[in-house]
Amino acid sequence: MKDTSQHSMNPLDEAGKPDTYEELAEAGKSRGGLFGRVNQAFQEALTSSRGTRERSPVEEAGDDPHVTADDLAIRRAKSVKPQRMIIPEGVIIDGSMTSGSETEISGRVEGDVTVEGRLYLGASALVSGNVRATSCRVDGLVEGRMECTEELELGTSGRLNADTMAGKRIILAGQVFGNVSTGGVLRLVSSGKLTGDIRARRLVIEEGAIFNGGCVMRAPAQRREAPKQA
């Protein structure tokens, strides 16, 4: 108690106290030992996803008043390194979002989600918009078209309220209200509930699964040839 009051009384300490984020990071670096190294690693992790320092709109745009955010975005896009993104529960995003790599969403998104990489929608995730990802695991609710290039996995707590598509595989253990189509395998696990039509090349329905709808399993040309062979 005494110590702290003494510290605050000291004018030198007050002046040297790091007040900005950058100063804090610098102060951490100068301190040696384990604490310094841990602090440094922590700071680097924090700042790594904040973009490179060299870019500033003032330098890039110069004195030209007509340079818009669109122009700068196009210019920079080629050299951007995609970063991992996490949207925790309690965060609302009103608008579309795009991510270049692995993404985890547990919050609320009112707009389209586009992810180049794996997308994980946690149990508390609520997305009302179209979702597009390379592969995806859904434990929350999606109200919008779901499109995956490779795999889609719907957990037992997951629910999809619109059409769903995946290039290679779909595993359904939750509820789906909408049509499901895939160029590969569709697996309806015992806890899965599907109300809608299926379009798939291969189909597995486990005992206990509920499926109400129609099913088409071949492309038109193959469908036509089928009766000739039989």
Partner 1 sequence: MQLIQEQAVSRPQREAPEILVVGGGKGGVGKTCLAANLAVEVARRGWRVTIVDADLSCSNVETVLGTRSERKLDDFFYQRGGKDLRCIVCDTQYENLTIIPGTTGLLDVANPKYQQKVALIRELKALQADLIVVDLDAGAHLNTLDFFLMTETNGILVITPEKTSIDNAFKFLRASLFRRVERFYESPEVAHLLKRLESFREFVECVRTSALFDGETREAICRELVALARAMKPKIVVNRARNAYEAQIAANILSKHSRQHLMIEPENLGYMVFDNRVSETINSGTPLVVSYPKLKVSQCIADLASRLGYF
Indicate the residue among 12 and 77 with the shorter CB distance to partner 1: 77
Taking the C-alpha atoms of residue 213 and residue 198, their distance in angstroms, rounded to an integer, is: 7
The answer to the question of residue 193 lying near partner 1 (CB under 8 A) is: no
Q: How far is CA 38 from CA 25, 28, 31, 48, in A?
A: 11, 9, 10, 15
CB 114 within 8 A of CB 96: yes
The answer to the question of residue 202 lying near partner 1 (CB under 8 A) is: no
Indicate the residue among 139 and 153 with the shorter CB distance to partner 1: 153
Phi, psi of 149 (to 5 degrees): -70, -40
Among residues 56, 77, 90, 229, the one that binds partner 1 under rule CB under 8 A? 77
Among residues 71, 190, 206, 208, the one that binds partner 1 under rule CB under 8 A? 71
What's the min distance (Å) between Cβ of 215 and partner 1?
13
Of the candidates 143, 175, 169, the one whose C-alpha atom is nearest the C-alpha of residue 156 is: 175
The answer to the question of residue 98 lying near partner 1 (CB under 8 A) is: yes
Interface characters, 104-123, with partner 1 (x: CB under 8 A): ----------x-x-------
Judged by CB under 8 A, the number of residues near partner 1 is: 30
What's the min distance (Å) between Cβ of 162 and partner 1?
14
What's the min distance (Å) between Cβ of 31 and partner 1?
37
Taking the C-alpha atoms of residue 68 and residue 74, their distance in angstroms, rounded to an integer, is: 10
The answer to the question of residue 187 lying near partner 1 (CB under 8 A) is: no
What's the min distance (Å) between Cβ of 157 and partner 1?
27
Which residues sit at the interface with partner 1, rule CB under 8 A? 70-71, 73-74, 77-78, 80, 82, 96, 98, 100, 114, 116, 147, 149, 165, 167, 181-183, 199-201, 218-222, 224, 227
